[in-house]
């Protein structure tokens, strides 16, 4: 009798394009779309609203109130614009410099890096051009309100959340995959 050795099933791997085929399109298109959308919305807000003016958007749950934020997200560390200019610039340059590695990631992760980069650049433009970030979205009920934020802040938060979820919950490689 001929005993056949069972074939070992190899884990399926998603094909990785060779370096010459890598395209930074998803990363940079996402970042560009966020910067463009953020700046257009902020231009509309600064054109139609005075500083401190509020407009209820969805009842009083979502309210647009034009503010100027010289600090970090949610108004923390006010008056430190230079620090945040440097941080935003470094983060954006670092993401752009890593485009080859990011291009090898799954599309959702590429998009997440694009969201972070676009958000950082959107707020960076405000800090350089205006000396403060234009925040205007305010959500809450009655006196229980979330701090003011903008499109760029939302993009950064969503991008970082996707990346954190990926890091925390991705499947670890199997021993068989490690041995290859």
3-state SS track over the chain: CCCCCCCCCCCCCCCCCCHHHCCCHHHHHHHHHHHHHHHHHHHHHHHHCCCCCEEEEECCCEEEEEEEECCCHHHCCCCCHHHHHHHHHHHHHHHHHCHHHHHCCCHHHHHHHHHHHHHHHHHHHHHHHHCCEEEEEEEEECCEECCCECHHHHHHHHHHHHHHHHHHHCCCCCHHHHHC
**Domain-embedded: residue 179:** no
Indicate whether 15 pLDDT > 90: no
What pLDDT was estimated at residue 19? 47
Range of the domain at 123: 24-166
Per the model's pLDDT, the better-predicted residue between 40 and 13 turns out to be: 40
Question: Looking at the 3D structure of the chain, how many domains does it have?
Answer: 1
**Is the residue at 9 inside a domain?**
no
Q: What proportion of the chain, given as a percentage, has pLDDT over 90? A: 58
Kindly report, residue by residue over 104-141, the tens digit of the pLDDT. 888 999 999 999 999 999 999 999 999 999 999 999 99
pTM of the model: 0.78
37 inside domain: yes
Q: Which residues are marked as active site?
A: 135, 153
In a domain, 15, yes or no: no
């Amino acid at each position: 009798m001929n005993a056949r050795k069972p074939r070992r099933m190899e884990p399926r791997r998603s094909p990785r394009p060779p370096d010459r085929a890598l395209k930074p399109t998803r990363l940079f298109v996402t970042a560009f779309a966020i910067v463009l959308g953020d700046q257009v919305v902020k231009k509309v807000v600064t054109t139609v609203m005075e500083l401190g003016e509020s407009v209820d958007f969805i009842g009083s749950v979502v309210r647009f109130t034009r503010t100027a934020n010289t600090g970090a997200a949610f108004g923390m560390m006010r008056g430190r614009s230079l620090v945040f200019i440097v941080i935003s610039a470094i983060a954006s340059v670092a993401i752009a410099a890593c485009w080859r590695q990011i291009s090898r990631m799954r599309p959702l992760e590429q998009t997440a890096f694009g969201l972070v980069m676009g958000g950082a650049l959107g707020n960076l433009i405000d800090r350089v051009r205006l000396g403060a970030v234009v925040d205007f979205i305010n959500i809450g009920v009655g006196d229980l309100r979330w701090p003011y934020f903008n499109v760029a802040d939302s993009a950064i938060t969503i991008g970082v959340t996707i990346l954190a979820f990926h890091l925390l919950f991705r499947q670890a490689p199997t021993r068989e995959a490690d041995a290859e």
